[in-house]
Amino acid sequence: MSQQAIVTWQSNMAFEASVNGHQIIMDADSSVGGNDSGPRPKILLLAGLGGCTGMDVVSILEKMKVVPEKFWMEITAELANEHPKVYNQIKLVYNFKGENLPMDKLEKAVSLSKEKYCAVSAMLSKTAEMQVEIRIVS
């Protein structure tokens, strides 16, 4: 099965990506000729990672009959010093809010996403050390 994104130059350093009928503008900041009209392409990888693992975790928890009141991830990455400046460390903090959330099930859902289901995590882990933290917040 193949997938396709069409990426079209707009002006200066801005590009528009068309993905399944959705448009995403990417741009650079003014110091390198952009207008800051959209996020940088590299950080969209982190957003994609969050979306991928988040969808997995929600789906797995739903099957476990665990429904958090709120769920969000904080994803932080460190860049290599040399070009190409790939992410060499990525930390995912999974934050869950809710009553009586079973930590063992949260850990299981996050682990299954990381080890088995999230293709974005699998790809990024080829170049980056992945760290995971799970928090239940009040």
Looking at the 3D structure of the chain, how many domains does it have?
A: 2
On whether both 22 and 48 belong to a single domain, the answer is no
Bridge partners (DSSP) listed for residue 2: none
Does 4 share its domain with 66?
no
Round the average pLDDT of the chain to a whole number and report it.
97
* Cβ–Cβ under 8 Å, residues 121 and 111: no
Question: Rounded to the nearest 5°, which phi and psi values hold at 58?
Answer: -60, -45
Tell me what pLDDT residue 45 has: 97
Given a contact cutoff of 8 angstroms between Cβ atoms, the answer to whether 91 and 131 are in contact is: yes
For residues 46 and 99, membership in a common domain is answered with yes
pTM above 0.85, yes or no: yes
Confidence of residue 138 (pLDDT cuts 50, 70, 90): confident
What CA–CA distance (Å, rounded) separates 135 from 60? Answer: 17
The predicted-structure confidence for 56-88, as pLDDT tens digits, reads as follows 999 999 999 999 999 999 999 999 999 999 999
Structure tokens at 128: 């980056």
Verify that 68 and 32 share a domain, yes or no: no
The tokens for 24 are 């995403």
**Is 14's pLDDT higher than 90?**
yes
8 and 65 in a single domain? The answer is no
Asked if residue 124 and residue 70 are part of one domain, the reply reads: yes
CATH at 84:
3.30.300.20
Same domain, 97 and 132: yes
Say yes or no: 11 and 52 in one domain.
no
Same domain, 79 and 45: yes
Residue type, 1: M
Quote the domain boundaries for residue 18.
Answer: 1-39
Query: At 23, which amino acid appears?
Result: Q
pLDDT in tens, 21-50: 999 999 999 999 999 999 999 999 999 999
Mark whether 65 and 83 lie in a shared domain: yes
The verdict on 71 and 127 lying in the same domain is yes
